[in-house]
């Protein structure tokens, strides 16, 4: 078998250059298509977390799991794990008063500042000063310590977006996604991020007020995306952001100009003069939405206690609230992520169709709350239905761009562990090559569910269909025009053959993880392994490929 697949490998990689990958099994193509067509129909109303459309989609996935022959692996012997969500908004606009040089300036919610609602404190009456913390990064490996010499206790940390030049893209994405937690660890009670360039990026001064916040809150009161101790999270208008620096040693424009220079650490931090008083009352609405979980028991008596997880998010953005009459208002999420769930189901079918079950157990999870901040996966990672230590590896299927016959993939997260070699081998067996991250600025590594498991120390991977064979232009135009719009629907020219191949590739990766004599391991000295699983087993660093 092995020798034959090595020959197939040679033949198949020849086809990479001709850009004509071997076609997929016709029956598999039809099954992937059928599932995407069901999940992306208008009648599921965009599968918003907690909605009726999502609940129907979850029932559908559970019934497919049953048909495939999986066992229920949710709560109480069922298919579901109900995630306890809380939606928080403000009863009345919060009162925010900024005191600058003795003047009291009242900030209008949604215009001058936007306070994030809270799922942990119903009433917030806080008053705090500010400390500018440069990029707001602290990391021993890269010798970053923007908090050095600064006293953040009881203060609001004010950080510039971004990070020093030269960090590996996945580590930069992780650091950028961890700034509020770093502020909390330094003792801050609040966190504000200001765009490095005026008007750029996803942060301040983009002021968004009034949008309800959704987070999970468990029975002990712990919340998913709110770091403990953080009471105030705001975004600011350009004008308000500049005001924070009044009376400070340097202006906002001056620290921004420091941050522009290449290869430098960020500007040093300093205390700011103004203070902020907040009086806000939250309105809460609690609801649940399920993770859907199926299990294929492993065949090896000792390895069956370990679990390899495949997951894909089932939720999308629901219905556009401010649609004009006659406008398409349904966020169908055909590629984001009906396609990921459909290909996960097909991977489950490929597992079930083999004469021999995998050695390790394989778990399939359709996640909720991904579009709200990777919440379902985070809840599961914190409240797993199997022992946390038994989860040894994870494959996430999210947003395969099934619009062209892809011939390469980028494997986010794979290079940190022995999963890298598994992906390369599985890809080679199908004539699919592995490419480095072509869009580091998109920070995809931290923008999908697998990241929540990396943070729990689990070697994990997400395959992005690559930039080769026309992928680059298709990705760029799709991200620009279609991503998170109602046009991500079934009118797109979906390449169903690419769907079946994406399913097959993910199946081969998960199968190899499930059958390998040893579990996936972080590489010696790897950043994420050392950070999140310092005591776990290690593979030699040269075993990546």
Cα–Cα nearest to 422, from 538, 505, 306: 505
Residue 76, Cβ neighbours under 10 Å: how many? 9
Closest CB 212 distance from Zn ion, rounded Å: 18
**By C-beta, is 437 or 488 nearer to Zn ion?**
488
Q: State the binding string over 281-320 for Zn ion (x if CB under 5 A, else -).
A: ----------------------------------------
Stretch that binds Zn ion, among 67-75, 88-96, 330-338, 351-359 (CB under 5 A): 330-338
Least separation in angstroms between CB 484 and Zn ion: 6
Question: Quick one: which of 343, 390, 334 has its CA closest to 362?
Answer: 390
For the bound state, the minimum distance from the C-beta of residue 462 to Zn ion, rounded and expressed in Å, comes to 13
**Count of residues in contact with Zn ion, rule CB under 5 A:** 1
Q: Which of residues 382-421 bind Zn ion (CB under 5 A)?
A: none
Task: State the nearest-atom distance from the C-beta of 333 to Zn ion, in Å.
Answer: 7
Contact track, Zn ion, 151-170, x by CB under 5 A:
--------------------
Q: Segment near Zn ion (CB under 5 A), from 59-67, 197-205, 258-266, 335-343?
A: 335-343
Give the integer Cα–Cα distance in Å for 511 and 47: 30
Q: Are 449 and 365 in contact (CB under 8 A)?
A: no
Three-state secondary structure call for residue 322: coil
How many angstroms separate the Cα of 447 from the Cα of each of 371, 377, 467?
9, 12, 19
Burial of residue 417, with CB atoms counted within 10 A of its CB: 0-12 exposed, 13-18 middle, 19 or more buried: buried
Q: How far is the CB of 481 from Zn ion (least distance, A)?
A: 15
336 versus 408: smaller Cβ distance to Zn ion: 336
Residue 311 or residue 428: which is nearer to Zn ion going by CB?
311
Nearby residues of 141 by Cβ (< 8 Å), 6 or more positions away? 527, 530, 531
Neighbour-count burial of 436, counting CB atoms closer than 10 A to its CB (0-12 exposed, 13-18 middle, 19+ buried): exposed
The interface region with Zn ion, picked from 65-73, 138-146, 336-344, 488-496 by CB under 5 A, is: 336-344
**CB nearer to Zn ion: pick between 39 and 156:** 39
Cis before 337 (ω within 30) = yes
Nearer to Zn ion, 180 or 336 (CB): 336
| Residues 150, 130 contacting (CB under 8 angstroms) | no
The residue number whose beta carbon is nearest to Zn ion equals: 336
Taking the complex as a whole, the smallest distance from the CB of residue 316 to Zn ion amounts, in Å, to 7
193 versus 336: smaller Cβ distance to Zn ion: 336
- Shortest distance (Å) from residue 432 CB to Zn ion: 24
DSSP string, 36-57: HHHHTSGGGTT-BTTSHHHHHH
By beta-carbon proximity to Zn ion, the closer residue of 372 and 508 is 372
Closest alpha carbon to 427 in 413, 455, 408: 408
* Interaction residues for Zn ion, span 233-272 (CB under 5 A): none
The least distance separating Zn ion from the CB of residue 402, rounded to whole angstroms, comes to 15
Among residues 252 and 365, whose Cβ is nearest to Zn ion?
Answer: 365
Task: Give, to the nearest 10 degrees, the angle between helix 339-353 and helix 26-39.
Answer: 140
Spell out, one character per residue from 483 to 502, where the chain touches Zn ion: x when CB under 5 A holds, - when not. --------------------
**Which span (34-42, 47-55, 333-341, 433-441) binds Zn ion, by CB under 5 A?**
333-341
- How far is 301 from 305, CA to CA, in rounded Å? 8
As measured in angstroms, the least distance from the Cβ of 177 to Zn ion is: 16
The answer to whether residues 341 and 312 touch, using CB atoms and an 8 Å cutoff, is yes
Q: Would you call 121 exposed, middle or buried from its count of C-beta atoms within 10 A (0-12, 13-18, 19+)?
A: middle
Would you say 398 or 526 has its CB closer to Zn ion?
398
The residue range among 12-20, 191-199, 321-329, 334-342 that interacts with Zn ion, by the rule CB under 5 A, is 334-342
- In angstroms, the Cα distances linking 258 to 171, 534, 538 are 22, 35, 40
Least distance (Å) between residue 103 CB and Zn ion: 43
For Zn ion, the closer CB: 336 or 449: 336
Beta bridge partners of 295: 71, 363
Using the minimum distance from each CB to Zn ion, give the nearer residue, 424 or 444: 444
- Nearest Cα to Cα of residue 231 among 282, 196, 268: 282
CB of 485 to Zn ion, least distance (A): 11
Q: How far is the CB of 225 from Zn ion (least distance, A)?
A: 16
| Closest distance to Zn ion from the beta carbon of 418 (Å) | 29
Q: Is 336 in the site for Zn ion (CB under 5 A)?
A: yes
CA-based Rg of the chain, rounded to a whole angstrom? 24
Segment interacting with Zn ion, rule: CB under 5 A, options 35-43, 172-180, 329-337, 386-394: 329-337
**What is the Cα–Cα distance from 363 to 343, expressed in whole angstroms?**
15
Per CB under 5 A, which region of 5-13, 331-339, 413-421, 510-518 contacts Zn ion? 331-339
- Of the candidate spans 274-282, 328-336, 343-351, 527-535, the one that interacts with Zn ion by CB under 5 A turns out to be 328-336
Q: How far is CA 266 from CA 120, 133, 166, in A?
A: 32, 9, 12
| Interacting residues toward Zn ion by CB under 5 A | 336
């Amino acid at each position: 078998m092995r020798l034959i697949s090595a020959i197939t490998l040679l033949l198949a990689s020849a086809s990479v250059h001709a850009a004509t990958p071997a076609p997929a099994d016709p029956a598999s193509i039809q099954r992937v298509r059928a599932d995407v067509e069901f999940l992306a129909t208008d009648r599921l109303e965009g599968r918003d977390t907690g909605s009726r459309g999502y609940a129907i989609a979850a029932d559908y996935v559970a019934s497919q799991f049953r048909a495939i022959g999986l066992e229920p692996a949710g709560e109480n012997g069922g298919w579901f794990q109900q995630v306890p969500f809380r939606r928080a908004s403000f009863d009345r606009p919060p009162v925010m008063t900024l005191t600058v040089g003795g003047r009291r300036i009242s900030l209008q919610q949604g215009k001058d500042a936007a306070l994030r609602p809270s799922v942990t404190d119903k009433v917030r009456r806080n008053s705090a000063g500010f400390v500018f913390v440069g990029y707001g990064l602290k990391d021993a490996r890269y010798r970053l310590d923007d908090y050095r010499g600064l006293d953040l206790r009881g203060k609001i940390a004010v950080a510039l977006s971004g990070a020093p030049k030269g960090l590996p893209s996945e580590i930069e994405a992780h650091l950028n996604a961890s700034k509020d937690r770093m502020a909390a660890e330094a003792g801050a009670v609040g966190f504000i991020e200001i765009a490095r360039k005026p008007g750029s990026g996803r942060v301040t001064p983009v002021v968004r007020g009034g949008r309800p916040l959704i987070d999970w809150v468990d029975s002990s009161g712990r919340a998913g995306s709110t770091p403990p101790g953080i009471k105030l999270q705001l975004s600011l208008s350009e004008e308000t952001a500049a005001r924070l620096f009044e009376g400070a040693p340097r202006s906002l424009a001056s620290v921004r100009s420091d941050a522009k220079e290449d290869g430098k650490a960020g500007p040093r931090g300093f205390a700011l003069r103004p203070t902020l008083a907040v009086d806000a009352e939250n309105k809460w609405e609690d609801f649940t939405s399920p993770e859907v979980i199926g299990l294929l028991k492993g065949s090896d008596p000792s390895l069956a206690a370990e679990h390899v997880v495949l997951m894909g998010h089932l939720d999308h953005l629901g219905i556009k609230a401010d649609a004009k009459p006659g406008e398409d208002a349904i966020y169908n999420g055909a590629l984001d992520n009906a396609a990921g769930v459909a290909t996960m189901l097909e991977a489950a079918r490929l597992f079930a169709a083999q004469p021999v079950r995998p050695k390790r157990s394989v778990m399939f999870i359709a996640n909720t709350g991904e579009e709200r901040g990777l919440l379902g996966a985070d809840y599961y990672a914190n409240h797993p239905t199997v022992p946390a230590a038994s989860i040894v590896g994870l494959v996430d299927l999210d947003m395969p761009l099934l619009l062209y016959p892809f011939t390469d993939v980028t494997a986010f997260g794979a290079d940190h562990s022995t999963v890298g070699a598994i992906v390369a081998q599985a890809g080679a067996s199908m004539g699919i090559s592995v490419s480095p991250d072509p869009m580091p600025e998109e920070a995809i590594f931290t923008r999908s569910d697998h990241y929540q498991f990396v943070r729990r120390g689990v070697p994990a991977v997400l395959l992005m269909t690559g930039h080769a064979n026309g992928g680059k232009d298709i990705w760029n135009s799709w991200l620009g025009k279609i991503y998170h719009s109602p046009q991500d629907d079934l009118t797109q020219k979906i390449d169903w053959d690419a769907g079946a191949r994406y399913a097959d590739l993910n199946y081969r990766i998960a199968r190899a993880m499930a059958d390998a004599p040893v579990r996936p391991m972080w590489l010696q000295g790897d950043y994420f392994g050392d950070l999140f699983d310092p005591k776990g087993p290690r593979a030699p660093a040269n075993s990546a490929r």
